[in-house]
Amino acid sequence: MDTEVKVPQYNLSEDEEKKEIVRQYRALLRSLKPKLKHGDRELVRLAFEMATDAHKTMRRKSGEPYILHPIAVARICVEEIGLGVRSTICALLHDTVEDTDLTLEDIERAFGPEITRIIDGLTKIANVVDTNTTQQAENFKKILLTLTDDPRVILIKLADRLHNMRTLDSMKREKQLKISSETVYIYAPLAHRMGLYTIKTELEDLAMKYLEPDIYREIARKLTETRRERTRYINEFIKPIKERLEKTGLKVEVLGRPKSIHSIWNKMKKKGVAFEEVYDLFAIRVILDSAPDREKEDCWKAYSIITDMYNPSPERLRDWLSNPKSNGYEALHTTVMGAQGKWVEVQIRTKRMNEIAEKGLAAHWKYKEGAAEESRFDKWFTQIREVLSQDVNSIDFLQDFKTSFLAEDIYVYTPKGDVKMLPIGATALDFAFSVHSAVGSKCIGAKVNHKLVPISHKLRSGDQIEIITSNKQKPHEDWLNFVVTTKAKTKIKDALKEEKRKIGEEGRYTLQKKLEGMGVSVSQANIEEVMIFYKQASPLDLYYQIAVKNIDLKNLKDEFQVSGDKLIVPKPQKIEPEVKSPDLDQVKAGQKKDNELIIFGESSDKIVYTLANCCKPIPGDDVFGFVSTGKGLIIHRTNCPNAARLMSNFGHRVVKTKWVKNKEISFLTGVKILGLDDVGVIHKITNLISGELKINIAALTVEAKEGLFEGNVKLFVHDKEELDELVTRLKKLPGIEGVERYDMELV
């Protein structure tokens, strides 16, 4: 995606607005035309009229009439996801039950139970945000139950989220951050898992536009500048391929494809390279018009012809023909060396495969009719149902869901040759639990491809695994570090809880005797007082800690007062809360504490805060405040590795923050410098930092190896402006290949 999405500014008259609504509605009907059966047009019209009436007094933040949003969502469902009439009706009415006087009963009377059920699912999703974390995770579980019941709910929700992201410009900054984080945390991976690659890519790009605006704009600018050159290169690359493929009798369409801004940025970060060095900015798609029984043969034939013309990179072949992804994606990917020494990614697929790649689940249903085997989508839904039927701790659920169900898959084999689907990162222990929970609980090791490995061994696609068990084995606490699947985590936690309960019985008996000795009853209220006093999360934890002697009840009489039948904790002396300014090592020695940097929150008051260690923000960074329990306000950068998780899971604790410049305080940050190990290069670097720019260096480490050096410099800067100036000047020094901000924790 080379361009930003521009939001139209609405300043239309009432008549013009009505015309715009009718124009958009007619465009929706035109898209829907091939799918309309007898009586459908009237149903869509009824849904449109009900939605228009229900939303008639409502406007969006941009000022436009609200009804334009449901129409836009319906158009995305039809035009970009390939859904039909029922989904269009649901999309038009998706916000009515939550936001207007229309009820589910009204909808059922007009459209029947199927549409009502989908709208009920969409209403549940609407309540996921802006609640406490436990409630949010509970609601997310409800969404997934609806997903396995009727996946259209998620597809419509993704269309809703995509339109909201396209029109996010008119929202407040903190809303933009929260919605973008949630999008990148849950909705983009969900779109990917549903096979909607185009939508997943656009969601990631739009989220990046708000979370990392500077980098987004810089990459977008460079893409625009190089567009003509790239187009010419791709056209010259495509021409001989198309001619050669057509000569062999293949019906083919060859297209150039721009890489997304988000994927380019990911490559730059992962490989530690500049934009100019991202080697596969160039990508083409070869789409074959093949008969169903010749699809694989034709794809491999095209691969053979292309790799005869251009040298392929052997480690870059991806074969999703033999083993399609769990979301139905089938294709051959390879990367070949084109003219001028440029790598080009080539994707080979048929028209059917292309439609499934573009439209995901909706296209998958179309081709599924008549298929005998259970599809990988169905297997995925079955796995989700299985996990949801277990008693999963809500707060862990969202994270587990991401690692278990939104990750890419690997395919592994049982000793008999049956295929098992597991997320990337799964271990031998995950596999054991996927076979059966009893096998997992007794697992002591495994043989992978006939070689003995420990239970923590990470599996790779194509591995064949045999599990070794022992009746003496039982789950341990550290097993939780070896598994990624929700099923394995849940079963291990259940087993540990049961073990804890057995040990805890002794602790419960000890506490009971102690309380009776003090003359108070063993009531729930008294046990809770003791539990809170010893900072335990549950009575079971309390009994367990007493049993294993981590809590000594000897002094219980001294700690509590007895009133009748009740235990009372004496009121503690009032202690003034400690005021935390930025970490002392971040402020230059000899500075007065009064010169503390001020961050304004909503109330524009001077407030207590600390700077997050995970991303070390400095003035000028795009930041948000996170209200943590016990530590007050913690300031994180919006591109912090933990930002998406915090803003998605704890949105209600995120507050808008901005810096007030204070040139008297310096902040500790760092830069990593890569270059050629030349005589005097270190002197040039230190001379620039300390001599010319007058920046204090806190520490400098240099490692030279085989003619190259890597230097890490910790230094005190006043703000981001000063840091950016330093990075620009360092890059201009002869022999310096790369300079980047040092984001790792600065110890």
**Residue ranges per domain, the chain?**
14-211, 220-368, 494-568, 584-660, 667-741
Query: Phi first, then psi: what are they for 489, rounded to 5°?
Result: -60, -45
- Mean pLDDT along residues 641-664: 73
B/e letters for 277-291, b = 16+ CB within 10 Å, e = fewer, are: ebbbbbbbbbbbebe
* CA dihedral of residues 449, 454, 460, 463 (deg, nearest 10): 20
pLDDT of residue 4: 39
Residue 44 confidence (pLDDT): 92
Q: Which residue has the higher pLDDT, 213 or 314?
A: 213
Q: What are phi and psi of 349, to 5 degrees?
A: -155, 165
Task: Say yes or no to pLDDT of 252 above 80.
Answer: yes
In angstroms, rounded to a whole number, what is the distance separating the alpha carbons of residues 207 and 191?
A: 14
Does residue 665 carry a pLDDT above 80? no
Q: pLDDT tens, 685-733? A: 888 888 888 888 888 888 887 778 888 888 888 888 888 889 888 888 8
Exactly one of 4, 40, 98, 724 is catalytic; name it.
98
Predicted pLDDT at 374: 46
**Residue 531 · residue 567 · CB < 8 Å:** no
Mean pLDDT lowest among 193-207, 209-223, 312-326, 588-602: 588-602
Above 70 in pLDDT, residue 109?
A: yes
For range 231-259, the mean pLDDT: 87
3-state secondary structure of 417: coil
Higher model confidence: residue 378 or residue 331? 331
Higher local confidence (pLDDT), 401 or 57: 57
Q: What percent of the chain has pLDDT over 70?
A: 79
Fold of 220-368: Beta Polymerase; domain 2 (3.30.460)
CB of 648 closer than 8 Å to CB of 182: yes
Between 125-139, 374-388, 610-624, 717-731, the lowest mean confidence (pLDDT) is in 125-139
To the nearest 10°, the Cα dihedral for 27, 33, 38, 40? -40
Q: What pLDDT was estimated at residue 298?
A: 92
What's the CATH code, domain 667-741? 3.30.70.260
The answer to whether residue 428 scores a pLDDT higher than 90 is: yes
Res. 591: pLDDT tops 50: no
- Quick one: what percent of the chain has pLDDT higher than 90? 12
- The model's pTM: 0.61
pLDDT band at 375 (very low <50, low <70, confident <90, very high): low
Residue 674's pLDDT is: 87
Contacts 24+ apart (CB under 8 A), 309-317: 309/240, 309/241, 309/244, 310/336, 310/337, 310/338, 310/344, 311/336, 311/337, 312/336, 312/337, 313/337, 313/343, 316/345
What are the Cα distances from residue 69, in Å, to 25, 61, 130, 146, 637? 11, 11, 21, 23, 32
- Predicted confidence at residue 630, as pLDDT, reads 62
Let me know: does 636 contact 643? Beta carbons within 8 Å.
Answer: yes
Hey, how many other C-beta atoms are within 10 angstroms of the C-beta on 447?
15
- Of the residues 99, 149, 528, 740, only one is catalytic, namely 99
Give the mean pLDDT of 386-395.
54
**Residue 658 near residue 599, CB atoms below 8 Å:** yes
Q: Which CATH architecture has domain 14-211?
A: Orthogonal Bundle (1.10)
pLDDT tens-digit series, residues 441-497: 999 889 998 888 888 999 987 788 999 988 888 888 889 888 988 788 888 888 888
pLDDT at residue 293 above 70? Answer: yes
Task: Read off the pLDDT band of 570 (50, 70, 90).
Answer: low
3-state secondary structure of 294: helix
Active-site residue flag, 98: yes
pLDDT at 575: 35
Q: Do domains 14-211 and 220-368 have the same CATH topology?
A: no
For the question of residue 277 being annotated catalytic, the response is no
Structure tokens at 64: 């436009």
- As a whole number, mean pLDDT of residues 402-425 equals 73
